[in-house]
Amino acid sequence: MKILITGFEPFGDYKVNPSAIVAERVAKDVLAEDINIDTFYAILPVSFKRARELLEKLFNEYKPDIHIALGLRPGASFIAVERVAINIMDSRIPDNDGYQPIDEPIDPQGPPAYFSTLPIKAIVRKLRESGIPATISNSAGTYLCNYIMYLSLHNSARFGIPKRAGFIHIPLPPEDAVNRRDLSIGIPPSMSIDLAVKAIKIAVKTAVEYFNKPDERVPP
Amino acid sequence: MKILITGFEPFGDYKVNPSAIVAERVAKDVLAEDINIDTFYAILPVSFKRARELLEKLFNEYKPDIHIALGLRPGASFIAVERVAINIMDSRIPDNDGYQPIDEPIDPQGPPAYFSTLPIKAIVRKLRESGIPATISNSAGTYLCNYIMYLSLHNSARFGIPKRAGFIHIPLPPEDAVNRRDLSIGIPPSMSIDLAVKAIKIAVKTAVEYFNKPDERVPP
Amino acid sequence: MKILITGFEPFGDYKVNPSAIVAERVAKDVLAEDINIDTFYAILPVSFKRARELLEKLFNEYKPDIHIALGLRPGASFIAVERVAINIMDSRIPDNDGYQPIDEPIDPQGPPAYFSTLPIKAIVRKLRESGIPATISNSAGTYLCNYIMYLSLHNSARFGIPKRAGFIHIPLPPEDAVNRRDLSIGIPPSMSIDLAVKAIKIAVKTAVEYFNKPDERVPP
Amino acid sequence: MKILITGFEPFGDYKVNPSAIVAERVAKDVLAEDINIDTFYAILPVSFKRARELLEKLFNEYKPDIHIALGLRPGASFIAVERVAINIMDSRIPDNDGYQPIDEPIDPQGPPAYFSTLPIKAIVRKLRESGIPATISNSAGTYLCNYIMYLSLHNSARFGIPKRAGFIHIPLPPEDAVNRRDLSIGIPPSMSIDLAVKAIKIAVKTAVEYFNKPDERVPP
C-alpha cells in the first residue's frame, strides 16, 4: 500500500509550518515501523499554481493508494479531520506567488464539493481513545488546504489516483503560539509536534485498516 | 418582492431559540418600513421530517423570491453568513422527534453541495460597516441548519422557488449565555437580540438590493 | 447619596473607550430617573500621573459616597465585577504620557491589596437575573484599571472618601470588535453599549441599595 | 538547596490532576539530574483543612528553601505563573471533604495579599524562550490554589520557611481535554504532560538560579 503524506511550506507570518515537519516525521516513522506500508512525503508550495503542478506530478509518478494531506489551522486546540472540500478559492491573503483568487471555482467543470474518502469517523474515534483532542471539521476553509483536498479527490474521482484521499488540520505548535496573543483567551491553543506526529501516525494506520471497508457510522 | 424569513423552534437545552424571535421581528419591521417588500416568516420545527414538509408547503403556497433562513450558533460572537450547504445529515443529538440521522445524504440524487445565492460578501461588508461583528462562514454544520439551507437551494435549483436562498447564523442572546460556562473563556460570547434584528434587516435589504446583480468580489 | 462614575479615555489602538460612553450615559440616566441619587461622572486620562491628580481632585471637591470606576476589558464576553486591587503597577504598554512602570508599587507604604467595598455578589446576581452576562473577576490587571481601583480604596481607607468603591470592567463594543480577529475564536466577543449601560445602571442602584448592609454571601 | 514541589489530588469531575503527575516527575527528574538540588514532592488533598495540616507538616519536617506549588487551570492554553495570593476563600464547589467557604478570610489576622517570591518574570521569559506558552497570571482564583499559595507565603513571612514560594498553574492534559467541549472553541486547550514537566523543570532551575538575586524587571 502506497501512501502519500503532504504538508505545506510556511506562509503569511507563520515562519515554520508544522504540517511539513509532521508529514516528514510520520512518513519516515511509518516506513520504518511497518513493512507493508510504503510512505512518501512532499512539502507543497503555498502557491495555487505550483502546488497543483507538484501534486499532479506526485500522483503520476508515485501513484499513491492513499493521500493524506496535512495543513496548519492556527487557533485550533485539536486535530481537525476534514469532511468535505468545496469547489472554490477565496483567499484572505495572497499565496506565496502573490496570487489571490477571490470567489473563483477550482474547476469550473468540477462538482461543487467532494466528501473525504478517508475513514474520518474511525480516525477521530481512535485519536480520542488515544487521548488526543480531535474532531470532525466541516470546513477546510477556502485557501490552499481546501484546494489541495479538492484537487486530490477530484483526481481520485476522475482517474482513480489516489484511491482514498482526505485532509487533516493540525494546531499551531507551542513554540509558535507563544508569540501570539488572542484578546479572548490570551496565548492561543497549541499542540506539541510530538503529539501531532502520534496523531497522524494513527490516522495513517487507520486509513490503511479501513482501506477496503466502510467508515464507522457514529455521531460526529 | 416576496421574502420568506425562517427561524427554528427551541432544541436541546436551548429553551428559547433567538432565530425565531429575530425572524418574526425582522419580518414585521421590514413589512412596516418598506412598501416594496412583502415579508413572511415561519418558525420551523427542529425535526428533519416536519421541517421539510413545512418548508415545501411554504414554498408552494407563498412562492417566495428570496428565502433567508436563520438559525442559532451557540458560542459564536458574530453573525455568520453561510457560504455553502452540503448534502449530508450527521447529528450529534436527536431532533425533536427523536430522529438522529448519521452520515446520510439529504437527497441521494442531489449534488454534494450548493453555494448560497444570497449576496454573502455584500451582506458581510454592510454589517461590518454598520459596526456589527459578521463574517462569511464555510460551514452550516450537519444538522437542521445545513439541511434547511440545502433543501431551499435544492428547491431553487430544481423548481425556481425561491430564486435566491441562503442561511445566516446568529449568536446566543445574552440572557441564555449568562447561564453557560466555557472552560476557556468563561461565559460564552453573545449578541443582543436588538443587534441581531438590526443585522438581519440589513441582510434582507441587501438581498433585495442585489437581487438582480452579482455579489461583490472581495476577500472573505 | 453622591455617586461618582468614572470611565477612561482611549488608549493603545482602542480609538474609543466604551467605559467613557457608559459612564456618561449611566450618570445622566440615573440622575434623571432617581431623585435620591446625585451622580457625577468623569473621564480619567490614561496617565498614571494625571489620573491620580484628577481622582484626588474629584474626591476632594465632590466628596462622593460611592465611586464606581469603569474600564475596558478587551476579549471579555461579560461584565466583570472586580473583587480586589493589588499594590502594583506593571505595564505591557506605556500610558498616554509615555510612562511605563514595571513592577513598582502604587504606594510603597500601602497594603498589598484592597478588596472592593461594593456589593459585588449582589451586583453579579442582579445582572445575571436581568439576563446580562456577568461574573466576579479576581484581577483588574496591573495597569490603569487596577491602579484607579487601588487608589480609590486607598483614599477610602485613609480618609473615608469615598465610603464605598470598586471597579467594573466592560467588554469591547461590537463596532470595535468587528475590526479585530482572534485566532481561536474569530471576531472577539463584545457587548452592545446599550446592554452595558443597562448593566452599570443596575450596579449603581445595587450599590445604593446595599450601602448600609453587607454584601450577599453566595458562591462566586 | 531544598525544594518542595506540591501538586493536588483530583477534584470535581477531573479524574486525574496533572499537577500531581508533574510534581512527581519534576521532583524525581531534578533530583537525578542536579546534585545540588534536593527535591521533595507531595500531593495535597483538595481539602482546606487537610491541605493546611499537610503543608505545615511538610514545612516543619522538611524545612524547604523553596516551595513551588502546582495546580490545574482548566481552559488555559499556557503555563500561568501566579503573581499574587489574596486573603480569601470563595468556593464555587465544595472541597473533597464537603467544605465550601464563601467569602471568608484565610487568616483574619493576615495581610490582604502576598506577592510571589519566586522570580516570576525570569521564569516566564525562560519558558517562552524555550518555546513554551507561558504568562504571568494575576489571579490564582479563590479556591485551593490561591489558598495554598497564600499559606505558603504567610508561613514564609512569619517563620522564614520556605524562603521563597509561589504558585504555577498548568493546563488540562490532552487526554482530559478530549472529553470536554466549549461552545466557543470546541475542545478546550491543553498541554501535554511532557511539555508541562519540561516547563516546571525550567521553573525550578530558574528559582534556584535567582534565589539570591532579584527578579528581572521586564514588562508582563
Burial B1-37 (b: 16+ CB within 10 A, else e): bebbbbbbbbbeebeebbbbbbbbbbbebbeeeeeeb
Residue A191's alpha-carbon distances to A133, A164, A197, B190, D78, in angstroms, are 9, 27, 10, 28, 11
How many beta-carbon pairs below 8 A join chains A and D? 82
Q: Is D9 a catalytic residue?
A: no
Among candidates C129, C79, D83, which has minimal Cα distance to B186? C79
C-alpha cell at A123: 480516525
C162: pLDDT confidence band, cut at 50, 70 and 90? very high
pLDDT for the residue numbered A155: 98
- A interface with B, Cβ–Cβ < 8 A, is 83-84, 86-88, 90-92, 100, 102-103, 111-115, 121, 136-139, 141-142, 184-185, 215, 217-220
Average pLDDT, chain C: 97
Q: What is the pLDDT of residue D114?
A: 98
Per annotation, catalytic residue among D9, D33, D61, D169: D169
Provide the residue type at D64 as one letter: P
> Residues of chain A whose C-beta is under 8 A from some C-beta in D?
76-78, 128, 131-135, 173-175, 177-179, 184-192, 194-195
| Segments of chain A with pLDDT less than 50 | none
* D63-73: pLDDT as tens digits: 999 999 999 99
For B195, nearest residue in chain C (alpha carbons): C192
pLDDT tens string D173-193: 999 999 999 999 999 999 999
Check CB contact under 8 Å for A187 and D78: yes
CB contact under 8 A, A77 and D177: yes
Residues of D at the C interface, defined by Cβ within 8 angstroms: 83-84, 86-88, 90-92, 100, 102-103, 111-115, 121, 136-139, 141-142, 184-185, 215, 217-220
Banded model confidence at residue D140, pLDDT cuts 50, 70, 90: very high
| Catalytic site residue from B56, B145, B154, B209 | B145
Distance CA C23, CA C70 (A): 7
Q: In the prediction, which pLDDT does C30 show? A: 94
- Name the amino acid, one letter, at C212: N
Residues of A in contact with B136 (CB under 8 A): 90
Contact assignment for D174 to A191 by CB distance below 8 Å: yes
Q: pLDDT by residue (tens digit) across D32-87?
A: 998 889 999 999 999 999 999 999 999 999 999 999 999 999 999 999 999 999 99
B134, B153, C30, C124, D64 from B84: Cα distances, Å:
16, 10, 48, 41, 62
Torsion sign over Cα B71, B72, B77, B83? negative
In degrees, to the nearest 5, what angle opens at C-alpha D141 toward C-alphas D139 and D146?
90
Q: Which of B82, B104, B154, B209 is catalytic?
A: B82
D194–A189 CB contact, under 8 Å: no
Which partners does chain C have (≥3 C-beta pairs < 8 Å)?
A, B, D
Beta carbon pairs, A and C, within 8 Å: 37
Cα→Cα distances C129→A99, B4, C219, D129, Å: 52, 35, 15, 46
**CA–CA separation, D137 and D119 (whole Å):** 13
Q: For residue C220, which residues of chain D lie inside 8 Å, CB to CB? A: 90-92, 142
Of the candidates B104, B169, B175, B209, the residue annotated as catalytic is: B169
* Mutation target vs C (from D107, D109, D120, D138; most C CBs, 10 A cutoff): D138
Instruction: Give the residue from A183, A185, A190, A191 with the most C CB atoms within 10 Å of its CB, the best one to mutate.
Output: A183
Which of D74, D111, D96 is closest to D144 using CA atoms?
A: D96
For residue A111, whether the previous peptide bond is cis, meaning omega lies within 30 degrees of 0, is no
Query: Which of D82, D86, D125, D185 to mutate: most C Cβ within 10 Å?
Result: D86
Determine the pLDDT at residue D128.
Answer: 98
Give the Cα separation of B111 and B115 in Å (integer). 11
CA distance linking residue C174 with residue C179, whole number of Å = 9
Looking at residues B118-140, what average pLDDT do you find? 98
Per the structure block, which three cell numbers stand in for D101?
467557604
Q: What is the DSSP string of D53-92?
A: HHHHHHHHHH--SEEEEEEE-TT-SSEEEE-EEES-B--S
pLDDT tens-digit series, residues C115-125: 999 999 999 99
Q: What's the gap in Å between the CA of A62 and the closest CA on chain D?
A: 36
Decide if B175 contacts C131 (C-beta within 8 A). Answer: yes
pLDDT-based confidence at D96, cuts 50/70/90? very high
Number of neighbours of residue D137 by Cβ within 10 angstroms: 25
Give the DSSP H/E element, type plus range, for residue D166: strand D164-170
C-alpha cell read off for C145? 484599571
Percent of residues, chain C, with pLDDT higher than 70: 100
Q: Give the pLDDT band (50/70/90) at residue D109.
A: very high
CA B201 to chain centre: 13
- ipTM score of the complex? 0.96
Q: Average pLDDT of D1-30? A: 96
**pLDDT tens readout for residues C106-117:** 999 999 999 999
Please tell me the predicted confidence (pLDDT) of residue C80. Answer: 98
* Predicted confidence band of residue C28 (pLDDT cuts 50, 70, 90): very high
Provide the greatest CA pair distance for chain B: 48
DSSP code for D136:
E
D82 included as an active-site residue: yes
Q: How far apart are CA D162 and CA A210, in angstroms?
A: 58
Distances (CA, A) of B165 to B54, B200, C174, C207: 16, 14, 27, 50
Asked if A133 and D190 come within 8 Å (Cβ–Cβ), the reply is yes
The 10 Å Cβ neighbour count of residue B38 is: 16
pLDDT tens for B172-205 read: 999 999 999 999 999 999 999 999 999 999 999 9
Residue A220 has its nearest CB partner, among B121, B142, B185, at B142
| Mean pLDDT, all residues of chain B | 97
Catalytic member of C9, C82, C104, C209: C82
pTM of the model: 0.97
* Å between C83 CA and nearest CA of chain D: 10
Alpha carbon of A81: minimum distance to chain B alpha carbons (Å):
14
> What is the model's pLDDT at position A217?
94
Mean pLDDT to the nearest integer, D130-135: 98
What is the identity of the amino acid at C118?
L
**pLDDT score at B90:** 98
Of D203, D220, D192, the residue nearest A189 (C-alpha): D192
Q: What is A2-209's CATH topology?
A: Aminopeptidase (3.40.630)
Mutate to test the interface with C, among D115, D210, D216 (most CBs of C within 10 A): D115
Residue A172, SS3 per DSSP: coil
| Arithmetic mean of pLDDT over chain A | 97
Q: Verify whether the Cβ–Cβ distance B182 to D180 is below 8 Å.
A: no
- Which residues are registered as beta bridge partners of B44? B8
Angle between helices D144-159 and D48-62 (to 10 degrees): 40
Contact in structure between C33 and C26 (CB atoms under 8 Å): no
Do C188 and A189 lie within an 8 Å CB cutoff? no
C-alpha cell at B152: 431551499
Picking from C77, C172, C185, the nearest residue to A182 by CB comes out as C185
Amino acid at D149: M
- CA gap C100, D108 in Å, rounded: 35
- Distance between CA atoms of A204 and A111, rounded to whole angstroms? 27
